[in-house]
């Protein structure tokens, strides 16, 4: 069974969990988890952690994402995208490019965003989208987000093509509605693609079709090592005795980590053991270990 990370190019019309289950079955993986869901409408990078790599999925979830999306101005839908029922129509004012770019600039930096009702966030154990489908609307607390880039790629009629690099927890559908509101109208997302998830910006994605073909030829698709996205964490190399103590849940003391504090990568020689926690005084304890 594979352990590592597969970068799937999720197709349109398939839920993130549906794509995950197909990959899991194709690769006969015992466990699998995705790092950041995509709407069925959306396409693009969906990191899938296989088997023991599911233990580091949380490290990827906190990464920045790059999206390309299209807003249709003048129409708002219940879901914020083209799959929802039209609930509002509004005239679209004459918009100079300078005006659009000025509005986009105002969204840059830290901000707060109210999650949409059509989302997987849960209220008393039920996803919000289930409540929305039954006609219920509940209060949602604004959540902190940050936009690092937001630029206009092009415009055609009353449609704008945009690209944004944003923090985790950013809902592009809500961002599109907010942009349209600031432009003096309403709007919804008609196309959405996640171009990359840090730190996989320059890594190629694989389609479901390419995975099927590879498996049919008896070949393994490209799977990144589980420690690939953890290069920003300090590496701690252990000898056999120290590794044994770590595996039994015991801390070890190392001169090399006396100035390190926080999460670290643990290795026995060159084999990745999982994540540890350094206390800044030379002690390292296990945090999330892989099963040998």
Residues with catalytic function: 39
Instruction: Work out the angle at residue 54's Cα, subtended by the Cα atoms of residues 289 and 250, and round it to the nearest 5 degrees.
Output: 10
State the pairing for strand pair 261-268/235-238.
Answer: parallel
Query: What letter does residue 282 receive in the DSSP assignment?
Result: S
Contact 86, 93 (CB under 8 A): no
Instruction: Take residue 96 and report the two structure tokens written for it.
Output: 């100079």
Closest CA to 214 of 32, 6, 4: 6
The whole-angstrom separation of Cα 225 and Cα 214 is 18
The whole-angstrom separation of Cα 252 and Cα 249 is 10
Query: How far from the centroid of its chain's Cα atoms is residue 248's Cα?
Result: 33
Q: Dmax over Cα atoms in the chain, in whole Å? A: 71
Instruction: Take residue 183 and report the two structure tokens written for it.
Output: 């432009």
């Amino acid at each position: 069974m594979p352990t590592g990370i597969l970068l799937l190019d999720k197709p349109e019309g398939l839920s993130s969990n549906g794509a995950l289950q197909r990959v899991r079955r194709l690769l006969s993986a015992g466990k699998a988890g995705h790092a950041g869901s995509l709407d069925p409408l959306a396409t693009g990078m969906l990191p899938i952690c296989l088997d023991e790599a599911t233990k580091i999925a949380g490290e990827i979830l906190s990464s920045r994402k790059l999206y390309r999306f299209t807003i249709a101005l003048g129409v708002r839908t219940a879901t914020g995208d083209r799959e929802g029922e039209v609930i509002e129509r509004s005239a679209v004012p004459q918009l100079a490019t300078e005006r659009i770019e000025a509005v986009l600039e105002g969204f840059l930096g830290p901000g707060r965003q109210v999650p949409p009702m059509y989302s997987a966030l849960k209220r008393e154990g039920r996803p919000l989208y289930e409540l929305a489908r039954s006609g219920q609307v509940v209060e949602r607390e604004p959540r902190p987000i940050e936009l690092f880039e937001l630029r206009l790629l092009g415009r055609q009629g009353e449609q704008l093509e945009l690209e944004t690099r944003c923090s985790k927890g950013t809902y592009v559908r809500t961002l599109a509605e907010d942009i349209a509101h600031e432009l003096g109208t309403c709007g919804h997302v008609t196309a959405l693609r996640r171009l990359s998830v840090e730190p996989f910006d320059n890594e190629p994605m694989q389609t479901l079709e390419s995975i099927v073909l590879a498996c049919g030829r008896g070949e393994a698709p490209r799977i990144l090592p589980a420690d690939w996205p953890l290069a920003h964490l300090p590496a701690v190399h252990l000898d056999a005795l120290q590794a044994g103590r770590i595996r039994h849940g015991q801390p070890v003391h190392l001169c090399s980590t006396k100035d390190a504090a926080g999460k670290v990568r643990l290795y026995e020689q060159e084999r990745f053991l999982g994540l540890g926690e350094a206390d800044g005084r030379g002690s390292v304890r296990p945090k999330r270990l892989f099963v040998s």
